[in-house]
Amino acid sequence: MSMTIGLAGKPNSGKSTFFKASTLADVEIANYPFTTIHPNKGVTYVRTKCPCTERDHRCGNCIDGVRYVPIELIDVAGLVPDAHMGKGLGNTFLDDLRQAQAIIHVIDAAGSTDIEGNPIEVGSHDPLEDVNFLNHEITMWMVGILKRNWQKISRKIQGENLKIERVLAEQLAGAGVEESQVIEALLITKLDPIITKWNDEEIILLCDKIRLISKPMIIAANKADIAPIQNLDKLKAIGGIVVPTSAAAELALRSASKSGAIKYDLGDSDFSIVAQNLSPVQQKALESIRSFLHKMHNTGIQDCINKAVFELLDLIVVYPVEDEGKWTDKHGKMLPDAFLMKRGSSAHQLAYKVHSDIGDGFLYAVDAKTKMRLGEKHELANGSVVKIVSTAK
C-alpha cells in the first residue's frame, strides 16, 4: 500500500470524526482544539467495480462485485492561522503532511467554529476563510523552507551553473516535492532564469504553484446536515472538487453496523435495521440519518475518498495475474492483487510495480480480457487484467 491521503483542517472541523468513520480506528474525538496531537494513521478503501463481475463467478476478493482497494489515511494535528510560524502545532502538522500524495481538507461547512476551531453559533463563520488560510499556510511553509537557505541556494545556482529545478527540489524534498513538480511550476510562473533577481512575492508565487501541483486538494464540506445552504453554495462556487459530507452520520452508521444493530457499509445509500431492541431515541436518530441519506444519496465520506483517488489524482485500478485464462496467480487465487496506478501508466510500469526484477526482465504483457499481446508502452485502462511475461522467475 503506497497511497497516502492526508486529512487536514482546523481543530473541531470534524476531521478526526471523518478519520474514525472511514477507518474505524480508535481515536480521541472531543469538542476542543488540539485533540489530535500526534498523527493518526489508518487504512481506508476506495470502492470500484471488480472485473470478476464480467465472469460467471466471483473472485472471493470482493463483496457483491465491489472491490475495496486499501489506501493509507493520515489524520494530522489541527491547523490554526500562522502555523507556518510555529503557532499551535503548526510545524508538526505541516511536517506530517509531507508524505501525503493528496489532501482532503475537512471544512466546517456549517460555520459553527471560528478560524481557530472554537465553537460558535451555526452560520457565524464564513467557511471560505478556512479554505484560504490552509492554502496560505502550506504555501508559506514551503516559502519558509526555501528562505532558510535562500542566499546560499541562489549563489550556488548562479556560481556553479546548476539547474534551478534540481536544487529547489532538493530543498523541498522534506515537503514531499519532486523535481518534475518544480519544473511544472517554473513553466507556469515564467520567472527570471537568474534566481538572484527573484523578490519575496515571486518566491511566494512559485511556492503557491508548487503547492497546487504537489499537494492537490479536495474539499470535504463537512457538517453538511446542519450547514446553511448558502455556505455549501459558496464552497461549490470556488471550483475544484467539493463534496458535502457528514462524518458524524457516517460514524454513527459504521458504529451501529459494527454492533450489529443495522446492516450498512461505507458508502451505501441506505441501511436496514437488524436489531429488534432499539430504544425510541436510537430509532429516531437513525431515521434522522436516513432522511439525510435520502437527501444527499450518501454521507459523502466514501464519495470524498473515491474522488480524491480517481478524480483528483486521476488513478486507475489494474489487476496483475499469472494465468490469463483463469485470471489467477500461481496458487489459483483469482484476481489476488489490485494496484492503483496513474492513468496513462504502461504495462512495463505495472511490471516494475509488481517487482523490480520482473520489470527489469519485462518481455511483453497479455490483456487477460482480450488475450491480445501488449508492448511495454501500451497504456493500461481502468480495470485492466494483465499477465506480465518476464525473464525473471
Please choose, from the candidates 23, 11, 13, the residue with its C-alpha nearest in 3D space to the C-alpha of residue 301.
Answer: 23
Residue 245: predicted pLDDT: 96
pLDDT digits (tens, 9 = 90+) for 40-58: 889 999 999 999 999 988 8
The superfamily CATH assigns to domain 4-125+216-308 is P-loop containing nucleotide triphosphate hydrolases (3.40.50.300)
DSSP string across 103-131? EEEEEETT--B-TTS-B--TT-S-HHHHH
Higher pLDDT, 194 or 191: 191
Q: How confident is the model over 235-245, as a mean pLDDT?
A: 93
Q: What is the pLDDT of residue 70?
A: 93
Q: Measure the N-to-C terminal CA separation of the chain; round to a whole number of Å.
A: 23
The angle that helices 150-160 and 164-171 make with each other, rounded to 10 degrees, is 150
pLDDT digits (tens, 9 = 90+) for 272-285: 999 888 889 988 99
Q: How far apart are CA 76 and CA 95, in angstroms?
A: 9
Residue 218 backbone phi and psi in degrees, to 5: -120, 145
Does pLDDT of 29 surpass 60? no
Q: What is the domain partition of the chain in residue ranges?
A: 4-125+216-308, 139-209, 315-390
- Grid cell in block for residue 200: 519575496
Average pLDDT over residues 178-182: 94
Question: Residues 6 or more apart from 272 whose CB is under 8 A from it?
Answer: 262, 263, 264
pTM of the model: 0.86
Q: How are strands ordered across the β-sheet holding 66-75? A: 40-49, 66-75, 4-8, 102-108, 217-222, 242-244
Q: Note the pLDDT tens digit of each residue in 65-101.
A: 999 999 999 988 666 655 555 554 445 556 677 778 8
Contact 338, 67 (CB under 8 A): yes
Q: How far is CA 313 from CA 75, 164, 316, in A?
A: 19, 26, 9
* Sole residue written with cell 477507518: 23
Average pLDDT over residues 154-167: 84
pLDDT for 391 equals 92
Confidence category of residue 266, pLDDT binned at 50, 70, 90: confident
318 contacts 282 by C-beta, under 8 angstroms = no
Q: Tell me: pLDDT of 265 over 70.
A: yes
The contacts of residue 87 (CB under 8 Å, 6+ apart) are: 80, 81
Segment 126-131 mean pLDDT: 93
Task: Tell me whether strands 373-374 and 362-367 are parallel, antiparallel or unpaired.
Answer: antiparallel
pLDDT band at 7; cut points 50, 70, 90: very high
Angle at 135 between CA 129 and CA 139, to 5 degrees: 140
> What homologous superfamily does CATH list for 315-390?
Beta-grasp domain (3.10.20.30)
**SS3 category, 355:** coil
Residue 102 reports pLDDT greater than 60: yes
Where would I find the H helices in the chain? 15-23, 90-96, 127-148, 150-160, 164-171, 179-189, 200-214, 229-237, 247-258, 280-296, 301-307, 347-354, 356-360
| Cβ-based neighbour number of residue 295 at 10 Å | 10
DSSP 19-69: HHHHH-------SSTTS--SPEEEEEEEEEE-GGGGSSS--SSSBTTEEEE
pLDDT digits (tens, 9 = 90+) for 335-376: 999 999 999 999 999 999 999 999 999 999 999 999 999 998
- The pLDDT, as a whole number, for residue 91 is 55
Cell of 58: 466471483
Work out the angle at residue 103's Cα, subtended by the Cα atoms of residues 99 and 109, and round it to the nearest 5 degrees.
Answer: 150
What is the per-residue pLDDT for 232?
Answer: 94
Predicted confidence (pLDDT) at residue 230 exceeds the cutoff of 80: yes
Q: What is the DSSP letter of 13?
A: S
Q: Is the pLDDT of residue 121 over 90?
A: yes
pLDDT at position 123, please?
92
CATH class of 139-209: mainly alpha
